[in-house]
Amino acid sequence: MKQNILITGGFGLLGSNLYKFLKQKNYNVFILDKKKNFLKKNYQRLDKKNVFLGDYLDKDLIKKIIVKKKIKVIFHTGAVTQVLDAIDSPEYTYTNNIFGTLNFLEIIRKINKKIIFIYSSSDKAYGEVGKKSYTENTCLNSVFPYDVSKSCSDLICQSYSKTFNLKVGILRCGNLYGPGDFNRNRLINGFIISILKDKIFKIRSSGKLVRDYLFVDDAVQAYYLTMLSLINSNRKLRIYNVGSKYNMNVFGMIKKISKLNKNKKIKIKVLNTSKKEITSQKLNYKKISKELGWKQKVNLDDGLQKTYNWYKEHIHFFKKY
């Protein structure tokens, strides 16, 4: 029988695409998210019976959901995810990202250690390492609030798995992009929306920050394969980098996206106001390829085109932009 699955942050970029994928595979999937106005948009025909509008900082609520719905796998994708929000509200970011994660681990430890917990860590958890690329053995050495919230939760997940024998997966992805991202401060969707609305696109950094870029469907595959590996083996802890062959700076990405819209003049302003960010990141992802057979399937041009098309079709969702 297929496992009952809970996705926290199921209205987010990763959670919503993971939800769609698992539904297609006929899993019984539940969402917990606190974004109250989201259902009105209803762009992916959610089954409202399977959606819990609520906050995972409410321990009683999540315990109730896990017990009542007989949850066997939890994908914890919910978090404060915006680097600038985290700098504005470090206390809330630490509370939400660290204590939220801890709530699930404690409940699993107490009620049923067989529940699989898959945590969305990040390449940001490594911080600025200065080497060519991070492997899974690179020390977590972050500095800024979002990054430290990810490193801490990542270590806490490892601690619960190693100390209490919990089955835990930890995925450290590079920058994700794709349809259904409602965050406005991200490079790819922010730039596409600016093009479609004929607005000036403001680059908050110097434009020289380097990142891996991965289409969300490829990340969803990595999460799925990790879940299967935890179900089908006795190994308790799996940690994987999920990187990309597309590693470039902001200007490189802007050039790529600009090509999608040959006819329009594109307006850009470099603000260079954001200094509290890692300058360069690159993940080594040989381990997940070797152990789980994961491959990056979506090439950058196709991924960007799909993303662009989605925003074109749904631009009415972004009225206030």
Ligand X SMILES: NC(=O)c1ccc[n+]([C@@H]2O[C@H](COP(=O)([O-])OP(=O)(O)OC[C@H]3O[C@@H](n4cnc5c(N)ncnc54)[C@H](O)[C@@H]3O)[C@@H](O)[C@H]2O)c1
Active-site annotation, residues:
146
What is the dihedral sign for C-alpha 243, 248, 254, 260? negative
**Residue range at the interface with ligand X (CB under 6 A); choices 32-40, 63-71, 223-231, 273-281:** 32-40
Element at 53 (helix H, strand E): strand 51-53
**Residue range at the interface with ligand X (CB under 6 A); choices 51-59, 107-115, 220-228, 283-291:** 51-59
The reply on whether position 9 binds ligand X by CB under 6 A is yes
Burial category of 18 from C-beta neighbours within 10 Å (exposed 0-12, middle 13-18, buried 19 and up): buried
Query: Tokens representing 178?
Result: 């794709």
Nearest one of 152, 157, 133, 135 to 230, comparing CA atoms: 157
Inter-residue contact 63 to 108 (CB < 8 Å):
no
By beta-carbon proximity to ligand X, the closer residue of 64 and 113 is 64
**Residue range at the interface with ligand X (CB under 6 A); choices 13-21, 108-116, 129-137, 255-263:** 13-21
Inter-residue contact 117 to 226 (CB < 8 Å):
no
Site string for ligand X, 206-235 (x = CB under 6 A): ------------------------------
By beta-carbon proximity to ligand X, the closer residue of 153 and 229 is 153
The reply on whether position 142 binds ligand X by CB under 6 A is no
Q: How far is the CB of 34 from ligand X (least distance, A)?
A: 4
Which amino acid, residue 267?
Answer: K
- In what side-by-side order are the strands of the sheet with 175-177? 175-177, 210-215, 247-249
The reply on whether position 79 binds ligand X by CB under 6 A is yes
By beta-carbon proximity to ligand X, the closer residue of 12 and 167 is 12
The reply on whether position 145 binds ligand X by CB under 6 A is no
The reply on whether position 93 binds ligand X by CB under 6 A is no
Helix (H, G, I), strand (E, B) or coil at 131: coil
CA distance 72 to 117: 9
Q: How far is the CB of 312 from ligand X (least distance, A)?
A: 20
Residue with CB nearest ligand X? 12
**Residue range at the interface with ligand X (CB under 6 A); choices 110-118, 130-138, 169-177, 226-234:** 169-177
Nearest one of 32, 42, 35 to 317, comparing CA atoms: 42
Torsion of CA 64, 67, 68, 73, to 10 degrees: 110
Query: Tokens representing 239?
Result: 């940690």
CA distance 47 to 35: 16
- CA-based max dimension of the chain: 59
The reply on whether position 13 binds ligand X by CB under 6 A is yes
The reply on whether position 169 binds ligand X by CB under 6 A is no
The reply on whether position 236 binds ligand X by CB under 6 A is no
By beta-carbon proximity to ligand X, the closer residue of 51 and 173 is 173
The reply on whether position 306 binds ligand X by CB under 6 A is no
Residues that bind ligand X (CB under 6 A): 8-9, 11-15, 32-35, 55-57, 77-79, 81, 96, 100, 120, 122, 173, 175-176, 181, 183
